[in-house]
Each structure stands twice: as structure tokens, then as C-alpha cells.
Amino acid sequence: MKTISRLQPILVAWIAVTLSQAASADEGMWLFNDLPKEHLKTKYGFEPSDEWAQHVMLSSVRFNSGGSASFVSSTGLVLTNHHVGADTLHKVSTPEHNYYRDGFLAKTTADEIEAPDLELNQLVSVDDVTERVNGAVKSEMSTEEAFAARRAVMSEIEKESLDKTGLRSDVVTLYGGARYHLYRYKKYTDVRLVWAPESGIAFFGGDADNFEYPRYCLDVCLFRVYEDDKPAKIEHFLKVSEKGAADGEVVFVPGNPGRTQRIFTSAALKYQRDRYVPYVLDFLRRREILYQQFGLEGEEQERQARDDLFGTQNARKAYTGMIQGLQNPVFLARKQEEEAAIRAKVENDPDLKKYADAWKTIEGTQARRADALGQTAGFAGRHYSIAETLVFMAAEDQKPNAKRLRQYRESARASLEQQLFSPAPIHADLERLKFADSLALLVERRGGDHPLVQKVLDGNSPQARAAELVGGTGVTDVEFRRKLAKGGQAAIDASTDPMIRLAKLMEPEARRARKINDELDELERQAYSQITTAVYAVKGTETYPDATFTLRLAFGPVRGYVEGGQAIPPWTTIAGAFEHEKNHGAKEPWELPAKWHARKDQLDSGTPFNFVCTADIIGGNSGSPVINRKAELVGVIFDGNIQSLTSRYFYSDKVARAVSVHSSVVLESLRKIYDAGGLADELGK
């Protein structure tokens, strides 16, 4: 069995031999309005037309819960990962019907289950608004004034766009603040579950196989978007390839990568290595144990905690890979060498010397970030999140739109309220556990004698206080939330609800923490903008910005690799899944669902299952379609292998791979295992 202990020696050897090769590889999470057409034409003989790019962009979808997807029919079908849809699967499940574990199939559209709070975004246009955003910030402004001015003009742009088009409008910061683009999205909020396989095949191999390869996971599910209570009519959607891509064939990945930090200076990377990532890992390990222990209390407890446990385990393993990459001296030495060369040229160029202090600014902000790390200003759990949102919303609504915190601006209001008034179930026992642990963390980090701690606990232990607050609050009731929201600040001030009162108590501390982060973000935004300008001047402008959970295009060939002297093939097969189960004694998590064994003889055992390519991806790309030159869907991204875990900081195609579900196994399983031939036939039509 492969385990995380294999990570360190693999990463050490890999980093040492691949850093110098990244520049010539297919690196990049490219903007759709700035694709590397010359590179694609020169290397692959393919030059994407504007029509191709527009079609792919409009066929792509973003899940507000975190993840990517694509339209795959004219009748509103959306294909994504099972683990991207898991949030909804858990919310629509009950003790009697565990759709996450047992799967789901709607025989007709009338059987499709409405997601309680899911929003899907389709990017329809991008405008460059850099000049207007930068024009609002004057050189004589203080950091606080510059931040306020930038926030105000971004809110103005978004509100104007929303009023004009009716589309969700977000100003996105790119290149560390060197560019600003206005993204307009069509929103779909009537989204319904159509089909999901069992978790046993969607996450076959469990946490042990996560971030490993070879893999055998049917990590996909289908939703449908509706308009006016009818399946939406979709103009741009992806045809589905029966055969998929060939070995060595270039494929493309349109998706929404969450966050990369490749622009970071060596000082910022050291902060990540020494302070931030270890801090996050400690928290994740703590929470992982918490959820595991809760799940051991019974089957229902295990069901309730499953989504939180999966997310925590996934993040813990990802951050483990990140820190082991950061801790390798080869990587940082190379970064410092490249940085020193650029800084030397900047210092010696009269036109660029004005940017020389930008690196020092970044270094200074890291020390301040370290000082602020761990200063708890809020608590975990849905109850507290709702209360905090209501308290902040009431206060922010009294301000002009341009001066509000970003998440409370008018252009984001509909999305905010969809989450705030979600009817999704809230599990009191699990909430109490999360909240008690958050209170205990506050005591550990601030000390039991701290005045804030004493006010929060109100003479109780963390466990007793959590029970009191969770048991006494009314925020579980959606109508209670609506009434408070409608009543505004007066209703919040008059409320005797214990969770609302706690959020009011914590509001000054939360705003203090936000102010510190806002100031540091603005300082870094200005510094990275200068660094980007300097790097452009030294190295040229053909590059891509760090990921921002907005639509990008990555690409690379389907290609296996060599690990430990062993050739790893580019794809696995259905036969391999049964063999993998046998090799692990057919014990959980290597136990295929009963349907797979019952229909085994009907399956084409040679059908490709999962495959790998060199496309540059990261978290947020989960659910991204993998397409060929014809814009046909050949797969769905669901993971990366161990060697890709440092992609937040740098890219290499030596052995790092993106892992996808093959289009053939999706069609094969729908038709022969799940009795969903009609659904399979609907795909691509």
C-alpha cells in the first residue's frame, strides 16, 4: 500500500532534476483573453481560433462550493467530480437515504433533487479595467487610503456592470496587482442532482490512494441547471468522445484553479515554509482527529462528518506535499538565485531602480504576518458563520456600497443571501463539537486569563459554553435569519440570541484582524505590481498570472512517466480496478460496490479508467473537463499525483501529472452498471 511516507524521497529527487526544465515545458494557467497561441502553434501545430476559445469558455462552469465543471448537453446537464458534488450530496441526504455513500439516479427529470444552495457560474465576458482601478489610487495616499480607494472603485465597477447587464460581476486582481479584469458571469441557482455513483467507486482507495497513481476512481457526477422551472437550453456544450485521447496527444483543461503563489518572493516562500504552512498543518491534523472520533460514535455520526473529514484529509495531504517541497533547499536556492539576478539588473538600470525596494517591502510584510498568525477572530461551525454574517451585514448595509467589505457589496448580495438563507440541514451534535474545539483553540492561543477569552466563555468550559450557545440559538431557523436580516442593525442590537450576541462581542476583534490583513494585502499588492513590472522589463511579458479561482486554460500531452525505475502507463483500465481490489484483500477502502461485481461480465475490461497528462493544474481544477483539439470531452480532472503537490509554487512536467477520469469509463458505467443508457445518450447532444 502506498502511503504519505513515500513523499519526501520522491520530492527531493524530483525537485533536484526538474526545476531547470520548467521554462521549456507546457507551464501555465492561461487567461482566455491571452492564450499562448504561438507556443501551441510551434509545439503542437495547433492554433486555437477565437471561436474555439469562446466556445470552450462558454462550455465551462464554476461551482461556488469550490470546483469546476462543464456543460455536456443542450438540456442543461453539467458534469463534474463526485467530490465537488459531495457538498450537495451530503446536504440532500438523510439518515434513510445516504446518496453520498449509496449513489443516486433520477429516472426522469421529475426525480431530480434540487440543491439547496448551489450556484453555478458561466463566464461570458472579460474586460480590462486596470487603468480605472489604478487611476483611483494616488501616489500621495497612505496604505489605508489606497486600499479604501481601490476597494471603492472596484465596487463601483461591479455595481455599474451588474446594473447594466444583470450578470454577476467581479473585478479580479491579476499579476499581484499589475492588472485588473472585470469578469461577468451568468448565474444558475436552480441546480438539481441527476446522477452520482457510490462513494466506494468515486473515491476507490480512499485517503491512502489520494494523490497517488495509478488510480481507479469514477469520481464524476451529473447535475442539471434549470431556468423558469425547466431544464435550461444551453447553446455551448461539449461533445463527448467515446474513445478519448491517444498516448502523446495534446489535451486542454479549461477550469478554475484555486490559488497559486508562483509570484512569491523568496522571503514570502520562507514565511510559508517556516510559519504559515506548519500552522495550517497543525490545525488540519487536529480537525482530522476530531472528525474521525466523532464518526466512530455511530453510522449517522459518520455520515454527518464524512464531508468535513474528506476535505480535511485532502487538505492535510496536499499541505504535507507543499511543505516538503518548500523544505527542500534546492527549490529555494534556485528561487533566490533567479531573484538575485533580477534584482541586480533592476538596481543597475536607471529606469527600473525605482522598483528595487519592492522586494524589501514583501520581506517586511512577512514579519508582520507572522506576528498576526493565529490571532483567532472567529469560530468554526455553521451556527457561528450565520450569526457573524448577519452581524456584519447589518453594519455594512449602513455604509455606502463603495465602502463596504467586499463580500457585502451590492454586486455580491444575491450570492451572499443564497448561502445565508440556505435550507440545508445543520447537525447540532457536529456543530457543538466544532464550536467547542474553536473555543478551546481561543483559550490555547490567547491564554485563559485574556479578557476576551473570559468574556467569550462567560464562566464556562469550552464544551459547556458550546452546548449553551448551540442549544440556545435560533439561527438554525431560516425564517429567523430572514427576520433579523430584514430588521437590520436595530434588530441585531435588540437581539437576545446568544450566538448573535457572541458575534457582536467578536465583531471589533474580527474587524481589527481584517484591517491588519487589508493593510498587508495592499502593501503586497503594490509591491508585487512593481516586481511584476520589473520582471516584465527584464524577461519579457509572455507569461500568465497566478491562479485566482477564475477560468484558465492549461494544456499538455497524455503521457506516462517513470517512478523509481518503473514505467507508469498513461492510463489504467477497468480490469485493473478489479485487480487493485484483489491486491488489497477487497477490504475498505479497496472494495468495489456490489453493482460492479454483479455486472463485471458485461463490462469491457479493457476500457480506460483513469489517465494522466502534463497539464498545469491545482486545487479548484477538480471537475475541469479535459478536451481535445476538436473541443470534445475526453476526461474529467479529479486529482494530481504526489509529485504535483508543489505546483502551488512551481511547475514541472518531469513526473508531475494531472489525473483524470476517462470519458470511456463514464459512458461504459452509465450504460452497463447504472442502467442509465438514456442519460449516456443525452451527453453531448
Q: What is the mean pLDDT of residues 282-297?
A: 97
pLDDT attached to residue 538: 87
Final residue before a domain boundary, out of 329, 358, 387: 358
Contact status, residue 642 vs residue 212, Cβ threshold 8 Å: yes
Please indicate, yes or no, if residue 422 is contained in any of the structural domains: no
pLDDT value at residue 348: 95
Q: Is residue 378 part of a domain?
A: no
4 within domain boundaries: no
How many structural domains are present in the chain? 2
Domain C-terminal end among 315, 331, 358 = 358
Q: Please give the average per-residue pLDDT across 45-57, as a whole number.
A: 97
**Res 571: pLDDT:** 97
Length of the chain: 685
Q: pLDDT tens digits for 87-125?
A: 999 999 999 999 999 999 999 999 999 999 999 999 999
Summarize the confidence of residues 418-429 as an average pLDDT. Answer: 96
pLDDT for res 520: 96
Q: How far apart are CA 241 and CA 683, in angstroms?
A: 10
Residue-wise pLDDT for 5-32, tens only, equals 334 443 334 334 444 344 446 999 999 9
Please tell me the predicted confidence (pLDDT) of residue 17: 40
Query: Would you say residue 323 lies in a domain?
Result: yes
Task: Read off the pTM.
Answer: 0.93
Contact 310, 86 (CB under 8 A): yes
Q: Which residue, 193, 122, 182, 187, is CA-closest to 156?
A: 182
Asked whether residue 636 is assigned to any structural domain, the reply reads yes
Per-residue confidence band for 541, with pLDDT thresholds at 50, 70 and 90: low
Q: In this predicted model, what pLDDT tens digit does every residue of 475-488 receive, in sequence order?
A: 999 999 999 999 99
Which residue type does 69 have? Answer: A
The mean per-residue pLDDT over the stretch 275-301 comes to 97
pLDDT beyond 60 at 230 = yes
The DSSP 8-state label assigned to residue 670 in this structure reads H
Question: Are residue 300 and residue 349 in the same domain, yes or no?
Answer: yes
Residue 111: predicted pLDDT? 98
Residue pair 624/258 in contact by the 8 Å Cβ criterion: no
Q: Is the domain of 222 the same as that of 280?
A: no
In a domain, 342, yes or no: yes
- The parent domain of residue 44 ranges over 13-87+209-260+548-682
Is residue 570 located within the same domain as residue 677?
Answer: yes
Q: What is the pLDDT of residue 13?
A: 40
Percentage above 90 pLDDT, the chain: 91
Q: Can you read off the three cell numbers belonging to residue 161?
A: 456592470
Cis peptide before 400 (omega within 30 of 0): no
Residue 671 sits in a domain whose CATH number is 2.40.10.120
- Residues 555 and 672 reside in one and the same domain: yes
Residue 348: inside a domain? yes
What percent of the chain shows pLDDT beyond 70?
96
pLDDT surpasses 80 at 1: no
In this structure, the answer to whether residues 213 and 278 fall within a common structural domain is: no
**Based on the domain organization, do 554 and 675 belong to the same domain?**
yes
Compute the distance between CA of residue 419 and CA of residue 298 in angstroms, rounded to an integer.
29
**Residues 565, 674: one domain?**
yes
Contacts of 560 (CB under 8 A, 6+ apart): 247, 567, 568, 569, 570, 612
* Per-residue confidence (pLDDT) for residue 389, from 0 to 100: 98
Please write the tens of the pLDDT for every residue from 564-608: 899 999 999 999 999 999 999 999 999 999 999 999 999 999 999
What is the rounded CA–CA span in Å between residue 388 and residue 382?
Answer: 10
Query: Which position has the higher pLDDT, 645 or 227?
Result: 227
**Same domain, yes or no: 306 and 334:** yes
Q: Quick one: pLDDT band at residue 547, thresholds 50, 70, 90? A: very high
pLDDT of the residue at 23: 42
Question: Taking 50 as the threshold, does the pLDDT of residue 3 lie above it?
Answer: no
The verdict on 22 and 70 lying in the same domain is yes
Which of 299, 327, 358 lies at the terminal end of a domain, its last residue? 358
Exposure of 597 in the CB half-sphere (CA atoms within 13 A): 9
Cis peptide before 589 (omega within 30 of 0): yes
What pLDDT, in 10s, does the model give residues 136-190? 999 999 999 999 999 999 999 999 999 999 999 999 999 989 999 999 999 999 9
**What pLDDT is stored for residue 12 in this prediction?**
39
Please tell me whether residues 213 and 304 are part of one structural domain: no
216 and 305 share a domain? no
Averaged pLDDT, 406-416: 95
Domain assignment of residue 418, yes or no: no
Note whether 248 and 332 are same-domain residues: no
- Please return the burial class of 237, using the count of CB atoms within 10 Å of its CB with bins 0-12, 13-18 and 19+: buried
Instruction: Report the mean per-residue pLDDT for the chain.
Output: 94
Rounded to 10 degrees, the C-alpha dihedral 321/324/330/335 comes to 70
What pLDDT digit, counting tens, does each position of 316-353 carry?
A: 999 998 998 899 899 899 999 999 999 999 999 999 99
